[in-house]
């Protein structure tokens, strides 16, 4: 494979991602993007939290406390664009978490960090803010968890995840998903999924 082909592919994917963010981005009440925001989607409702309000205000929601123990975590990937043939290098990654009472997903995109909650795993795995994800949704690995949902929120706050800018190479969806997975999956419990996509 030639370097010019690879460069062209990267440029095309980057351009398409920028274009997609213009049309698929969530709008704030002031019309701008939501950099530095965690969007908490519970299905019937959506709440927005800044870095400063994250630890205090999100704790009032059911399931965001020390009693909501994390049980299992799965790392998934989906194609960046619909016509993509393989996900070996270019993909969007997110984490699905099973806790005492809920299923959750957490992911970063260009505009925000999205935390979703549902009673059904298919909702957080196959949908992003009510919209069907690009298919196929492929599991990369899974493992047993340590900690609670409150610990996950504290981790995001202490690491300053809402203060960091999205970067296509250095701080993207893969970075957040793998940081969360590595921090909360118990050592020695990781099971990798073999896939060819």
Q: Is 12 left (phi over 0), alpha (psi -120 to 50) or beta?
A: alpha
Cα separation of 77 and 95, whole Å?
9
Please report, in tens digits, the pLDDT of each residue of the chain (197 residues total). 444 444 334 444 444 444 443 333 333 333 334 458 999 999 889 999 999 999 888 888 888 999 999 999 999 999 999 888 788 889 999 999 999 999 999 999 999 999 999 999 999 999 999 999 999 999 999 999 999 999 999 999 999 999 999 999 999 999 999 999 999 999 999 999 877 66
Quote the pLDDT of residue 196: 66
Q: Whole-prediction pTM value?
A: 0.80
Other Cβ atoms less than 10 A from the Cβ of 147: the count is: 18
Give the closest residue to 124 by CA, choosing from 95, 157, 90. 95
């Amino acid at each position: 494979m030639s370097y010019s082909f690879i460069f062209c592919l990267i440029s095309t994917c980057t351009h398409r991602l920028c274009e997609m963010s213009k049309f698929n981005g969530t709008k704030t009440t002031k019309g701008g993007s939501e950099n530095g925001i965690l969007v908490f989607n519970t299905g019937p409702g959506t709440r927005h939290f800044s870095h400063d309000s994250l630890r205090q205000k999100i704790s009032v929601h059911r399931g965001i406390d020390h009693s909501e123990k994390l049980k299992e975590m799965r790392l998934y990937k989906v194609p960046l664009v619909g016509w993509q043939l393989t996900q070996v290098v270019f993909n969007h990654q997110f984490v699905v978490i099973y806790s005492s009472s809920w299923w959750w997903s957490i992911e970063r995109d260009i505009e925000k960090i999205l935390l979703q909650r549902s009673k059904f795993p298919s909702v957080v795995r196959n949908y992003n803010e009510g919209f069907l994800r690009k298919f196929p949704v492929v599991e990369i690995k899974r493992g047993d968890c340590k900690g609670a949902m409150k610990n996950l929120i504290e981790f995001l706050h202490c690491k300053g995840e809402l203060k960091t800018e999205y970067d296509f190479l250095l701080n993207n969806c893969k970075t957040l998903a793998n940081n969360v997975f590595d921090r909360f999956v118990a050592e020695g419990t990781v099971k990798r999924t073999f896939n060819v996509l």
